Structure 1
Amino acid sequence: MDSVMGNTETEYDVVVSGAGPVGLLLACELRLGGTGRVLVVERLPEVDETIKAGAVNTPTAVALDRRGMLPALAEVQEQALSRFRTFLREQAGGGAGAQAAPAPPPRFAGHFAGIMLSAGLFDESDPAFADVGPAAKVGLVPQAALERLLAKRAARLGVELRRNAEVTGFEASTDGVTVHIEHAAGSAPAADHRGPDRSGPQTDHRTDGAGAGPQTDHRTDGAGAGPQTDHRTDGAGSATDHRTDGAGSATDHRAGESRSETDHRTDGVGPEAVDPTNRPRPETGHPTDTPRSETVRAGWLVGCDGGRSTVRKLAGFEFDGTPPEITGHQAIVDMTGAEGLKSGWNTTETGTYAHGPVPGRILTVEFDGPPADRETPVTAEELQTSLRHVSGADVTVTKVHSATRFTDNARQAASYRAGRVLLAGDAAHVHSPFGGQGLNLGIGDAMNLGWKLAAAVRGDAPEGLLDSYTAERHPIGAWVLDWTRAQIALMRPDPHARALRKVVTDLVETVTGTTYLVRQISGVQQRYDLPGGHPLVGRSAPDLELADGGRLADRLHGGRGLLLDLADDPKLRARAEGYGDRVDVVTTGCPARPELTGLLVRPDGITAWAADGTSSGDPAHLEPTGQPGPTGPTGSTGSTGPTGPTGSTRSTGAARHPGGEPGDALADALERWFGSPVLR
């Protein structure tokens, strides 16, 4: 309907609540997948500069490489390394102005429960790290810098972003969601992009069994506690920009050489990806001086609004877990007496503290229960008291540039979907920040959900595809929660925990122990339990160097499926007939992996089917169906039912594709993940 007393109703395919890295990446993936109108609603007026995650893991770097963003990430990392070198010079007594030779990016950096890992004990020949590609060299990408890159990419892809606004309520039905949005004073109203008949875009609000969310709030006491990383201190800091993410100017620094024929920008937004639906880029009106309300109609609502998620609470998702027992602080400060602090992670009789790896960065952990007040800004006095108590050093905090509180509250939604409402990122799971898993877990959610939800919006999603989001991602989240709980157990200042810590430290000081921990922290062991007996199925696809001079990652910039014919096999290519609008078929070779003859890769980079040359070369005989591979360290997804995409019990019957036959694994994989072929 038209605007009435400040309320408007507009149609969107998807509304995303929250414009952090998870919400922005999800919006980008939706647009890349052909979703028409995507609206992102964010409470904050600009990118949150509060100190949060300081790095990304391997799956995150690989995922962004597959969207053409690796050059931009490498530039941000170099700026972060520059600050790290400054910190090392200051620790060595050289002062901020002293010169030092450039150092290469570290292969990895990490700790387990504050026990530092030695690079010299890491076995780089471990096969889990093979075929990662150049993304393995990128890791030091702070969260705020990543958020800025994704905001730029989202704008170029045509995502509508409303800042100074938040979702305050919604009503979900089987065919869509009515979303209520409150805009703060100073926010810009949305322009009306509907056609002359005022009907809005032709959105597909199907009734595919997606019901309304549950009516009862099943959360347990304390479930609404916020995450360890979303504790903003609005108004804190000074007018000087003391960012720790190394963000450069607003200039678009483009790569000097293109990585593919269609993508020449360092942020991965190629000319063909600017607007997949050829709609004009949305624009907003001029800011208003008064608050206002807005009601929009959407096909789907996704809560990416953090650990205190309004969407999660209103939808009634179960959110069980374990209560917090620590108060943690992280900050960038000016201080005197820093020479009394040791660099790195340090455990004392009263807790744990960290100093570095950038100038002024401190972190403290005290086992005195959660903070009494989570809302008030973190003060210099609070940080100083905590740091003195844990370190024993006579430090004085003179200025706070950025600060946050966190706890070890560890909870997870029982499901990530309730009808037309979904959750991703901290809205779906919260935990302590130890091990740097939170941001990366959310990025993985967005990559997994984006292409599946886009298919649901387009109307060509196979049965069970959207439910496979929870089936695949929930075990990964559960593993992360346990990984952080284990670290809390080792950090407790009681005699039993300290005795156990000595034993674990001895194990860490071995090649086997360090390599095991690096595998877990880096995320390279993650695997979805998908049907198929080949060891690559369910894992992130190897970044193969192809005979045509490109890499596999280059072929995924468009966000579509990819079938690699590595043996010039016409029978293999015939299986993909009818999928031209969803799957790209590339015939080339891979000299480094001559045993591979074919590879089907989902839009999120996960291997859905693989074959090698151990049999006749007929795709129908290369791999049997219905044999899930071994369970990965992050857990097994199990089956979503007899017709679910991740289930190994799916009955496919006779092949439904020209040239196919019963048991054709490739034809089954294509239909499982991309729906039925469209044959002409």
Structure 2
Amino acid sequence: MTDADVVIVGAGPAGLMLAAELCLAGVRPLVLERQPHRRDTPKAGGLGGQILELLRYRGLLERFEAACTGPVPAPRFPFGGVHLDFTRLADPPLHALPLPQQPLERLLEERAGEVGVDLRRGHEVTGVSQDDAAVTVDVRGPDGPYQVIARYLVGCDGARSRVRDRAGIGFPGTTYPEVNRLAQVTLPDAVTVLGDGGLDVPGFGTIRPGFTRTDHGLFGIGASPGSQAVSLYTIEDESAEYDDDAPMTVSELQDSIRRVLGVRLPVGEALRLSRFTFKARQADRYRHGRILLAGDAAHLFPATGVALNAGMLDAVNLAWKLAADLHGWAPAGLLDTYHGERHLAGARTMVHTRAQVALRRGHDAAAEALREVFQELLADEQPLRRMGALVAGSDIRYPMPGPGHHPLAGTFAPDLTLHTDQGITGVAELMRPARPILLVLADRPDLCRAAEAWRHRVDIHTAKTDQRPADALLIRPDAHIAWAATVDEPADTAAHALREALTGWFGTP
């Protein structure tokens, strides 16, 4: 028998991120992973969206950037058979880091080890039960079966989550009859990468850059002149079922290209090969008593490039709320806001990924017209930025309790440049310890006095900044703004509102 505060099932990106965030908040989680070693089967090819900003706020982004072996590509992203092209914008709303899932998980595991996470590989969860006080977890480990009694259990165990099934949480949605194959390969000298990114294939001719649609599927190229590697992508409708753990081969890739394009494309060394199907599913609840879900166990999206972003942001949102409950100061209903906020975010991601399904799966003249009109809209900066924020997940505004909130409440805190008595810093640096922050940006001693009773839980900073967005910002550990003081708001009104926000999010002092 083992006791734990939180058991996390699954040592993928969401589980490891959650474990590290819990440790930052003073909780020691136990992570159980049924696989004895990190899997070699390629899955995600990189990180993108709002999670990159969060990693920067934790002081981790440079470490992740240093692990990238290839150059960061130009900001041009596939979207349902067309492209979001941000190359003409000086400040793109969407960024990506080409870091395959294997080194990503290695970095997250290293981070987890540094902060004290207990990770047990080769330990499979075989049963789960709960009552009002605890969760009992049956585990089969290398030395035999045992039980863990925990205050909470979080299922980060993927699409086929046993935790979700044992908790009786529904997972409604759609499975699409698509098989997607993605590869990064070198090409033999006989194949020429053209100046526009297309390919010249001997015996066939030119394959244009971007996406080529045929009666048999979709083929995509991502290539740059002078690059040693190109990205190849196919989508076909197939009825066959594939084992996610069975690796794809170069021959399988070439066969798929031949079926879609009618040409056997010569391929050199395979740097990455992966195969996946698309599902649009979302758990009907992210919490059932003392059992919670995060990552792929909670949602599956029918498009690439968003799952890691969503799953790791789930973890950051959940960690500080679990810790507050375990430390005994969580206000009533705090843990329930995890479902309210992240289910909303998942539904928002589902909207744009399902829209991508509609764009890419149509084969008739009407579908071609839809793609053409959509691409024309993206020639204008405002809709292009809006779509970038939607895909990045940076347009999310969490609902805040009560009326009359500042426009910033519920949004991700901007990284303001701050002038303090100790020098110049930024919001990102202040967020590294993952603690709540009251950032007073105007001469408002009334707000500092109002928050004094919470100083043991909330770090209070005073600073000046150019073009201040509010007199003060109350920032949660997940970097979202819980409350903001309107410029020149009366002192009594602002102090009362601040105390209400502090109590509502961080408990009674």
Query: What TM-score, normalized to structure 2?
Result: 0.88
Aligned counterpart, 1:393: 263
- For 2:96 and 2:220, locate their aligned partners in 1 and report how far apart those are by CA, in whole Å: 23
Structural mapping, 1:321-400, within 5 Å: 321-333=173-185, 339=192, 340=201, 342-356=208-222, 359=229, 361-369=231-239, 371=241, 376-396=246-266
Which amino acid counterpart does residue 314 of structure 1 have in structure 2? R
Per-residue CA deviations over 1:445-474 (Å, capped at 9, x if unaligned) read 011001001111111111000000000010
Structural mapping, 1:238-257, within 5 Å: none
Aligned counterpart, 2:480: 606
Select the residue among 415, 418, 425 that pairs with 1:546: 418
- For 2:263 and 2:503, locate their aligned partners in 1 and report how far apart those are by CA, in whole Å: 63
Which amino acid counterpart does residue 350 of structure 1 have in structure 2? H
Report if the CA contact (8 A) 2:321-2:335 is conserved: yes
- For 1:553 and 1:487, locate their aligned partners in 2 and report how far apart those are by CA, in whole Å: 33
Aligned counterpart, 1:219: none
Structure 1 residue 49 displacement after superposition: 4.0
Structure 1 residue 177 displacement after superposition: 1.1
CA RMSD of aligned residues (A): 2.5
Which amino acid counterpart does residue 112 of structure 2 have in structure 1? A
Tell me if 1:556 matches 2:431.
yes
Aligned counterpart, 1:19: 11
Aligned counterpart, 1:632: none
Per-residue CA deviations over 1:501-558 (Å, capped at 9, x if unaligned) read 2222222233344233222222221211214521110000111110021101111111
Identity of paired residues, percent? 40
- For 2:100 and 2:426, locate their aligned partners in 1 and report how far apart those are by CA, in whole Å: 26
Report if the CA contact (8 A) 1:351-1:493 is conserved: no
Structure 1 residue 409 displacement after superposition: 1.4
Tell me if 1:596 matches 2:470.
yes
Distance 1:349 1:513, change over 3 A: farther
Select the residue among 130, 133, 141 that pairs with 1:172: 130
Aligned counterpart, 2:274: 404
Structural mapping, 1:155-194, within 5 Å: 155-184=113-142
Select the residue among 673, 676, 679 that pairs with 2:505: 673
Higher helix share: 2
Distance 1:67 1:614, change over 3 A: same
Select the residue among 79, 90, 113 that pairs with 1:112: 79
Report if the CA contact (8 A) 1:540-1:605 is conserved: yes
- For 1:150 and 1:396, locate their aligned partners in 2 and report how far apart those are by CA, in whole Å: 36
Higher strand share: 2
Aligned counterpart, 1:216: none
Structure 1 residue 356 displacement after superposition: 3.8
Per-residue CA deviations over 1:290-320 (Å, capped at 9, x if unaligned) read x522221111110001111111111110111
Report if the CA contact (8 A) 1:456-1:466 is conserved: yes
Which amino acid counterpart does residue 352 of structure 1 have in structure 2? L
Distance 1:32 1:401, change over 3 A: same
Structural mapping, 1:59-78, within 5 Å: 59-77=50-68
Secondary structure of the structure 2 residue equivalent to 1:537: coil
Aligned counterpart, 1:42: 33
Tell me if 1:443 matches 2:315.
no
- For 1:564 and 1:512, locate their aligned partners in 2 and report how far apart those are by CA, in whole Å: 31
Structure 1 residue 401 displacement after superposition: 5.6
Which amino acid counterpart does residue 475 of structure 1 have in structure 2? L
Aligned counterpart, 2:195: none
Aligned counterpart, 1:422: 292
Secondary structure of the structure 2 residue equivalent to 1:81: coil
Aligned counterpart, 1:256: none
Once the two structures are overlaid, the 10-residue window that deviates more, 503-512 or 318-327, is 503-512
Per-residue CA deviations over 1:186-245 (Å, capped at 9, x if unaligned) read xxxxxxxxxxxxxxxxxxxxxxxxxxxxxxxxxxxxxxxxxxxxxxxxxxxxxxxxxxxx
Secondary structure of the structure 1 residue equivalent to 2:176: coil
- For 1:489 and 1:354, locate their aligned partners in 2 and report how far apart those are by CA, in whole Å: 17
Select the residue among 537, 540, 550 that pairs with 2:409: 537
Report if the CA contact (8 A) 1:50-1:402 is conserved: no
- For 1:119 and 1:59, locate their aligned partners in 2 and report how far apart those are by CA, in whole Å: 16
Which amino acid counterpart does residue 11 of structure 1 have in structure 2? D
Tell me if 1:463 matches 2:315.
no
Distance 1:154 1:597, change over 3 A: same
Runs (4+) of structure 1 exceeding 6 A deviation are: none
Query: What TM-score, normalized to structure 1?
Result: 0.67
Unaligned runs of 5+ in 1: 1-8, 85-105, 130-135, 185-290, 623-659
Report if the CA contact (8 A) 2:36-2:121 is conserved: yes
Secondary structure of the structure 2 residue equivalent to 1:480: helix
Distance 1:70 1:379, change over 3 A: closer
